[in-house]
Amino acid sequence: MPPPDRLQLISSDGFRDYALLDCGAGRKLERFGSIIVDRPEPQALWRAKLPKSEWSKAHAVFSASGEDDEKGKWRVDKPVPDAWPVKIDGVTMLCKLAGLWHLGLFPEQYPHWQWMLERIAAVKGETPRVLNLFGYTGAASLIAAKAGAEVTHVDASKKAIQWGKENQSASKLDQAKVRWLLDDAAKFVARDVRRGKTYHVILVDPPKFGRGPEGEVWDLFKNLPDLLGDVAKLLAPKDAAMVLTVYAIRASALAFDQLLRDALNGKGGAFDTGELAIRSQSGPLVPTSLFVRWNGQS
């Protein structure tokens, strides 16, 4: 199947407990549950639409340090709990101002979580098995588990794994079948290939750079091709699907489309590829990440 002539734009308006209130001038104003935050957004090149009086309602403002927008510090202008709940699809995620600008949840992923639920529901004759690589604090893992899937969640951050377990308890899903594994994604996948394991739905959401629990170095552009080659071997022989999300927005979705097609060569199925974006209540769309989805069920 040749690469697409057109890339897709999949956007979300958020959900009850999350809204992008406004964006512009390199910033975004968001509501996570009851808390409003003002964070950097380099993609927001246009002017903000709401007046400064609305932006001043933010409970906390993140100031980036140097060239890395994710590193810096929070200025708390109004009381913010150590952790507060944000509900999504029956799951409770605990958001925190935990040093980096990330709050423990990526709301723009909501369309992928809905797509994942459709793929889980399409599995016939056995319990769906889901693998979530680079799973962070577990939103996708818990949504999948609530839908009845057996979930394997892999992340190299001990802090993220613990946070995910807290989210599981907050969601009252303690009896759900979720394995929380502190591991290097590439090493874990290679072991599972040797064990002959398979999964119906695989989510791959790698960072641009990172380190494993034993100091393993991850570089997206160097390590992703080999990882996807192994991940392809973990797809169940039927009713399988996969989604790759890449936040290296300066790259092209087309490049990752062709990479995943190469890794899944001969498996048939259908691909859809493009960008994820989230729509602000003031109008503009903020691009957030690239994606490639493969549906072997089609």
Alpha-carbon distance of 144 to 149, in angstroms, equals: 6
What is the model's pLDDT at position 189?
98
| Structure confidence at residue 98 as a pLDDT band (50, 70, 90) | confident
pLDDT at 1: 65
The predicted-structure confidence for 146-184, as pLDDT tens digits, reads as follows 999 999 999 999 999 999 999 999 999 999 999 999 999
Q: What is the chain's length?
A: 298
Integer angstrom CA distances of residue 151 from 11, 62, 69, 125: 26, 33, 32, 17
CATH code reported for the domain at 15-88: 2.60.40.1180
What strand order describes the sheet that includes 18-24? Answer: 18-24, 27-32, 35-40, 60-65, 68-76
Range(s) for CATH 3.40.50.150 in the chain?
104-295
Residue that has been written with the tokens 């989210």 in this structure: 167
Give pLDDT, residue 120.
Answer: 98
pLDDT tens string 235-253: 999 999 999 999 977 789 9
User: Full-prediction pTM beyond 0.75?
Assistant: yes
Q: Give me the mean pLDDT over the 36-54 stretch.
A: 95
Label residue 295 by pLDDT band (50, 70, 90): very high
Stretch 130-153: mean pLDDT:
98
How large a percentage of the chain has pLDDT more than 70? 97
Q: Percentage of residues in the chain with pLDDT exceeding 90?
A: 87
d(CA 296, CA 298): 5
pLDDT at 70: 63
68-90 confidence digits (pLDDT tens)? 656 789 999 999 999 999 999 99
Comma-separated ranges of CATH 2.60.40.1180 domains in the chain: 15-88
Q: Is the pLDDT of residue 207 over 70?
A: yes
Mean pLDDT taken over the chain: 94
| 104-295 topology per CATH | Rossmann fold (3.40.50)
pLDDT (average), residues 98-120: 93
Per-residue confidence (pLDDT) for residue 69, from 0 to 100: 59
Burial 197-223 (b: 16+ CB within 10 A, else e): ebbbbbbbbbbeebebeeeeebebeeb
